[in-house]
Amino acid sequence: MGKPTGFMETGRELPHKRPIVERVKDWKEYQLPLEPDHLKNQASRCMDCGIPFCHMGCPLGNIIPDWNDLVYRDRWQEAIERLHATNNFPEFTGRLCPAPCENSCTLNLDVYSQPVTIKQIEVSIIDHAWKEGWVKPLPPHKLTGKKVAVVGSGPAGLACAQQLARVGHKVTVFERADRIGGLLRYGIPEFKMEKRHVDRRMEQMKVEGVEFKTNANIGHNVPVEDLKKNFDAIVLCGGATQARNLPIAGRELKGVYYAMEYLPQSNKVQEGDKVESQIHAKDKHVVILGGGDTGADCIGTAHRQGAKSVTSLELLPKPPATRAGNNPWPEWARILRVAPAHEEGGEILYSVSTKQFLGENGILKKLQIIKVEWIPQPAGPPKLQEIEGSEFEIPADLVFLAMGFTGPEKNPLFEKLGIELDQRSNVKADANKMTNVPGVFVAGDMTRGQSLIVWAIAEGRTAAKGVDQWLMGETTLVAPL
């Protein structure tokens, strides 16, 4: 604990964002760094709370009080060593994680909700470390002779691959897209995380011995048999990318797309690619169905493409500004959160449901919407009920379905490997992340369902530990799960 009175003397301070009128004209990250003196003051607010609930609230088990204290004492190199001990990619989590650690911070106990700015301190540590040249490849001292195939290059696959390479296994990462990164590359817009951060980690991992193969779709253009024949272990990290559909009247109209049909195209353009027949929002009335992070990504992208209007539809009621009585600390606070993309404009309609897509000559023109209410039940969750006579229409040239994901996509590799799935179509795994097939492991959303980036990295680290233990009979790898 750096300063015993810090949390009483200093209030919570977040970094400034680039002005809206400026940032919607480009694709650069919207957040500005916090000045060093201000950051030190923020780190001083971390209190000696006895039980570090922030640490317990982090799936990675990040030792948050330690690196807060080190930042306060200007011991930055020690801070990044402590941070890297539990997190392979803090520049990813520091930009993309919703920070359950801050929800669990003891300073969140009162109604004012002024937790330590953990997420900002985290990203500042790693950005400072890259700037100072402290982040270097860690190749193994010796090779084991074992080969591991990692299928999927999202955060779970990258974390797993890096851990395994560092203990001497020969790791090959297979990615079906044309570039490495999974949803980090083609799901997260550039304005939330510039892809130079992914590229920089790729270069580090290559020096550590990881081989990357793109345009390699296992079970399609790469036979499953090749993996079984050429590798001692396989780790499935393909994510949960089967998008939830809305099969109502008019779904077939041109103009209705999944969010993940739209966002990757925009990211490809930012990479310098030419995308034929790109879905583009310029001068269009854009409607997003779904109020989560993917929906916000669509909002920010539509603004930067010059949309005429942007409207978000949310089935649930508008969340409260502060915790409700049935949502106590340190639970995840179910409160209203405003993403930077929401600040840039547009409208959010709560407690509404889409009845049908309306169009002319096969092209989307409008949405018919109805208001809904949630009726409390004596037992179980509230019941959704439409409000009779509340239908209305709004103009819509483009609709993006951002209603979450239902599990991993169907892939012939499951059947060819003999992998068992659970009732939700996720891959079954034991505590070491091994499937029912010896030597075949799984990590990330493919086994736990759609989740957070911190869970993906945690799962990747856990799978790596399981693989190393299985291959070598012992392991020095550390994992949080």
Same domain membership, residue 385 and residue 261: yes
Question: Of 107, 132, 157, which residue is a domain's last?
Answer: 132
In 3-state terms, what secondary structure has residue 284? coil
Domain annotation covers residue 185: yes
Same domain membership, residue 377 and residue 308: yes
Q: What is the DSSP string of 149-195?
A: EEE--SHHHHHHHHHHHHTT-EEEEE-SSSSS-THHHHTS-TTTS-T
Same domain membership, residue 95 and residue 151: no
Please give the average per-residue pLDDT across 297-320, as a whole number. 97
Range of the domain at 353: 256-401
Domain annotation covers residue 479: no
pLDDT in tens, 62-110: 999 999 999 999 999 999 999 999 999 999 999 999 999 999 999 988 7
Q: Which residue has the tokens 């106990």?
A: 109
Same domain membership, residue 372 and residue 275: yes
In 3-state terms, what secondary structure has residue 357? strand
Alpha-carbon gap, residue 70 to 59, rounded angstroms: 22
R_g of the chain, CA atoms, integer Å? 23
Please give the average per-residue pLDDT across 195-220, as a whole number. 97
DSSP one-letter code for 318:
P
Q: What is the mean pLDDT of the chain?
A: 95
Per-residue pLDDT band at 303 (split at 50, 70, 90): very high
Amino acid identity, position 155: P
Domain annotation covers residue 251: no
Q: How many domains does the chain have?
A: 3
Same domain membership, residue 365 and residue 463: no
pLDDT in tens, 231-272: 999 999 999 999 999 999 999 999 999 999 999 999 999 999
Same domain membership, residue 396 and residue 277: yes
Output the pTM of the full model: 0.96
Domain annotation covers residue 122: yes
Question: Of 73, 98, 132, which residue is a domain's last?
Answer: 132
Same domain membership, residue 396 and residue 266: yes
Mean pLDDT check: name the lowest of 276-285, 416-425, 455-464: 416-425
Alpha-carbon gap, residue 400 to 260, rounded angstroms: 9
Residue 308: its pLDDT value, please? 98
Please give the average per-residue pLDDT across 423-443, as a whole number. 96
Please give the average per-residue pLDDT across 433-448, as a whole number. 97
Same domain membership, residue 104 and residue 15: yes
